[in-house]
Structure 1
Amino acid sequence: MKAPRYSTSRQKACQRCSTAKARCDRKAGRCTRCALRGLSCTYLPSGAATRGVSDDENVTQSQPLSTPDILHAAEGLLPTSGCDQPTGLEGQSSAYGSAQPIGDTTPTDTSTATSAKWRVPNDSRPNLTPRSPLGLDTLDFSCLELLNPINVDDISNRWLNSFVPIPGQKVKEYPASITAFIYRILKSYAAVTVRGRGVPPFVHFSQTIPALLRPPLSTCLSLVRVCDKLLPGSEGAATDVLQREMDNLYEQHGTYDDVDLLAAFQAYLVYSLVLFFILGRVSDPFLRQAMMNLQELACSCSRGGLVCVAEQQRACPRWEAWVVAEAKRRTLFTMYLFDSVLLAQDGLPTFLGTELRGLSASASKSLWSAQTRYEWETTYSIYLADWPGGGLRIDELWPTPPDLDAPGILERRNRVDQWLENVDEFGTMLYAVTSCTHGG
């Protein structure tokens, strides 16, 4: 016997969407709205369901999130146990949530429901990441072959320097204009991430590809979106959600492999930036403890290596190894700048990060933005030819050593000029800060 003709079509929404008077896509297994919130999804018997929003009705424009919205959104995004949870990167529901960050992609339809703060994998939606043409499906982040040219343990103790200065350390005398410049730049990193317009320039684009996105960073890029357009009075709830995830990240970081540890380091830094610049936790004691934890995370991440073995041998490394090493260095430099902002806020001195001496300055725009392995390897071959003695080091942007003679000073300036020919916005920012602070 056939089912009644309208028995299914009249059931417009699941029980939860019907109660909330929200649009329900009636996706098999669990609708999108319930999946985002980690809620069970059930349908009332035919004829018993309350009226939901019909498929052809217009939905409301996106509105600021209230405190209940924040807590509901966090339910489906925060991990419930350890790092052994499924990643949710293949369209599966997991403790990290099945939502994926929008990145630079913006919806063409401006009528977006309040709950649609993240895009959820949908078999009917085309894959926005071209993989085969770019060869990104072949990226392999195992066996990276990295080494350390510095003593990374000094990174974890940096917070002590402002209270127990090491003899001979040089104080960085930031002009007020440079402190304000760093503040505005770092604030823009937090804002672009919260709004889903992209990622900070210390996160490589390959790290955001769904198949390669690691859980700590995946959760972060989704979770900070709850801080966009908050209603007055909701900041406390958003702060609690972020701080809880930061505690979870720090407690679990000893169980991560090198690539997950990089993602955790980057995520923890993003959370800290959002707390300070977006949620206004300027004098929050939690943030001071978070900086200590962040420096410990930076130390642990750096132990896996900051330089490719092939880089040291003046040879072309594997693209994957270079991406991890460059992302680590950029994240380190950003953390040091953020540390200087927090110290200035507290009226404490900032010391030159001499423990980073010898690390490569940020790479060229063409290397960092290369979209294919062939493009990157070709660009790196040109880089090796242009820099036979090795690329610019971060300490070459610091004050000129007093024992450097005139030819040495000229050579150093020429190397900086050559480096500036192809830097991206991150390199330009580093140069602006160091040049206006140290001269040269």
Structure 2
Amino acid sequence: MKTTRYSASRQKACQSCSNAKAKCDRKAEICSRCATRGLSCVYPSSTPVVAQNTTYTAGEAEINSQPSTSKNISIDTIFPDLSSTASVCSHPQDDANVANPSNPPLDFSNLELVCPINADDINMRWMRSYIPLPEQIPKAYSTATMTFIRRVLKSYSAVVVRSRGIPPFIHPLEMTVKSASPLATCLSLVRICDNLLPGSDEAVAGVLMREMQYLYMQRTTYDDMTLLSAFQAYLIYSMVLLFQLGRVTDSFLRQAVIALQEFACSSSRQGLLCLAEQIPARPKWEAWIVTEAKRRTLYTMYLFDSVLSAQDGLPVYLGTELRGLFAPGSKTLWHAQSRQDWETVYNRHLADWGGKGFQIDELWPITAADDDAEVVQRRTRMDRWLENLDEFGIVIYAVTSSTHGD
């Protein structure tokens, strides 16, 4: 029979943008709006891919061990409407949080990054809880501070599970590059944790853990951008397991922390600071996006590690290995919508800070060796830093201030 004229869809937007009555730029693989919100970007008569089809060999380390309870359960039988559930989600967020389709494509190659710290110390952090070094400085979180950290991290996991956006350690423009596929898969996959069917927790946890195992086994094959994407995805999976699926006593999470620190170490080795910032000069926008996202992800991982350590009754230590890294950048830099806007703001940033940005260790305890002039200067710099923080910077300040004082 002859097909009718309108048998094929003439829809000019993906399903998510169409339902939200939003403009769709129809980029290859995933449009900017879906990338920013972590939605499944599908068109009529298409089916989204939820996760990679992976196989595993025997003899892997414990972090790669296969979960036993859900190995043979098909996720499609539990969540047949996964794609449609997310695509009809409405997001009241301001459009300023979406990558601007009119901007020219960003180039994340040849970024000229450096690592100003010893990244290997990050990799060994988990061991310091069992074999502390003499120079380690313990952190005594109050019950209120620990509750605050837990609730903030829980909100980060809830945001992605409910498809309401992305956590503030992920830059929206990261999602516009193909190498962000581990993160894009993560933001799609964790939605299966929303409105769980009774008795499906084990199966869902097994799906997430298998994806984590896949990322861990592939980590040595990733380039810098894909490694950052995998690091962020692995952190989100870990937080979802703890805060959304309640895997409080699961030994897998303890192994996941070790794997997280391996991801953090490998990603940090590729650079945590723009070379231009050491001059100081204005770096490429892309370079700043990557290093700022790396540092924010690193700080989030440290908060998550603190939660698990405190939960297990282990001591929590100050992350002195991060000394010299920049504290979270300003709200206007992080949310800049074009290269021109960002460069204008960064030029002002250089003038304000005189070439020496605010560092994370300036939020740590004031030592007895600091004289009055140094203390005054430090507080002046802190006040300037506080003037233009986004929600992530406020969290870091709240935690450090309540722990170490002013």
Query: Same fold per TM (> 0.5)?
Result: yes
> What is the CA-CA distance between 1:299 and the residue it aligns to?
0.1
Q: What is the aligned-residue identity percentage?
A: 56
Aligned-partner residue type, residue 365 of structure 1: K
Residue 35 (1) aligns with residue 47 (2) = yes
Q: Name the residue aligned to 2:13.
A: none
The residue type equivalent to 1:253 in the other structure is R
Report the equivalent of 2:84: 116
What one-letter code is carried by the residue in structure 1 that aligns with 2:51?
L
Distance 1:5 1:406 in 2: 83
| TM-fit CA distance, 1:4 | 7.4
Which residue is equivalent to 1:220?
186
State the 1:334 CA deviation: 0.3
Indicate yes or no: 2:398 matched with 1:432: yes
Aligned to 2:230: 264
Asked whether the equivalents of residues 98 and 172 of structure 2 are also in contact (C-alpha less than 8 Å), the reply is no
Alignment of 1:77 with 2:51, yes or no, is yes
Is the contact between residue 99 and residue 173 of structure 2 (CA under 8 Å) also seen in structure 1? no
Q: Return the match for 2:128 from 142, 161, 165.
A: 161
Q: Is the 8 A contact 2:99 2:337 kept in 1?
A: no
**Corresponding residue pairs, total:** 340
Measured at CA, do residues 372 and 173 of structure 1 come closer, stay the same or move farther in structure 2, by a change above 3 Å? same
Aligned partners of 1:314 and 1:411: how far apart in 2? 20
- Whether the 8 Å CA contact 1:227–1:278 is kept in 2: the answer is yes
Other-structure match for 2:268? 302
Q: Deviations over 1:397-423 (max 9, x none)?
A: 000121000010000001000000001
Where does residue 176 of structure 1 map in the other structure? 143
1:439 to 1:131, Cα distance in 2 relative to 1, 3 A: closer
1:343 corresponds in structure 2 to 309
Q: Which has the larger radius of gyration?
A: 1
Unmatched tracts of structure 2, length 5 or more: 8-41, 57-80, 89-96
Q: Provide the residue aligned with 2:344 in structure 1.
A: 378
Q: CA shift at 1:314, angstroms? A: 1.1
CA contact (8 A) 1:172 1:351 kept: yes
Is 1:252 equivalent to 2:252 in the alignment? Answer: no
Quick check: 1:206–1:212 contact (8 Å CA) kept in 2? no
TM-aligned CA deviation for residue 208 of structure 1: 2.4
Find the residue that maps to 1:214 and give its secondary structure. helix
Aligned partners of 2:179 and 2:225 also within 8 Å: no
Q: CA deviation at 1:190?
A: 0.2
Q: Is the alpha carbon distance of 1:191 and 1:436 closer, same or farther for their aligned partners in structure 2, counting shifts above 3 Å?
A: same
Equivalent position amino acid for 1:77 in 2: A
* SS of structure 2 residue aligned to 1:392: coil
Relative to the length of structure 1, the TM-score reads: 0.74
Question: Is the 1:171–1:350 Cα contact (8 Å) retained in structure 2?
Answer: yes
Deviations 1:315-372 (A, max 9, x none): 0000000000000000000000000000010011000000000000000000000010
**CA deviations over 1:189-211 (Å, ceiling 9, x no partner):** 000011110001000010123x5
Q: How does the TM-score come out when normalised to structure 2?
A: 0.80
Cα distance in 2 for residues equivalent to 1:435 and 1:375: 32
Describe how 1:396-435 pairs up with structure 2 within 5 A.
396-435=362-401
Query: 1:169-202 CA distances to partner (integer Å, 9 max, x unpaired)?
Result: 1110001100000000000000001111000100
Q: Secondary structure at the match of 1:435?
A: helix
Work out the CA distance in 1 between the residues paired with 2:251 and 2:3: 62
How do residues 118-133 of structure 1 correspond to structure 2 at under 5 angstroms?
A: 118-119=86-87, 131-133=100-102
1:242 Cα shift?
A: 0.3
The C-alpha deviation readout for 1:88-122, integer Å capped at 9, x for no partner, is xxxxxxxxxxxxxxxxxxxxxxxxx66513449xx
Q: Which runs of 5+ in 1 are unaligned?
A: 10-29, 39-75, 83-112, 121-127
**Do the aligned partners of residues 354 and 138 (structure 1) sit closer, same or farther apart at CA in structure 2, a change above 3 Å counting?**
same
Written as runs of structure 1 = structure 2, the 5 A alignment for 1:35-114 is 35-36=47-48, 76-80=50-54
**2:352, 2:188 → 1: CA distance?**
40
Separation in structure 2 between the aligned mates of residue 270 and residue 405 of structure 1, nearest angstrom: 42
Residues 235, 33 of structure 1: alpha-carbon distance in 2 compared, 3 angstrom cutoff: farther
1:242 corresponds in structure 2 to: 208
**1:32 positional shift:** 5.5
Q: Give 1:78's aligned amino acid.
A: Q
The one-letter amino acid paired with 1:187 is K
1:361 to 2:327 alignment: yes
Larger fraction in helix: 2
Distance 2:204 2:305 in 1: 23
Dislocated runs of 4+, deviation >6 Å: none
Which of 158, 162, 170 is residue 191 of structure 1 equivalent to? 158
Greater RCO (CA < 8 Å, at least 6 residues apart):
2
User: Secondary structure of 1:399's match?
Assistant: coil
CA change 1:406–1:219 in 2 (3 A) is: same
Q: Distance in 2 between matches of 1:420 and 1:327?
A: 19
Separation of aligned partners in 2, 1:282 and 1:421:
37
For residues 33 and 179 of structure 1, what CA distance do their matches in structure 2 show? 47
Would the aligned equivalents of 1:330 and 1:362 in 2 still touch at CA under 8 Å? yes
Greater CA drift, 299-308 or 228-237: 228-237
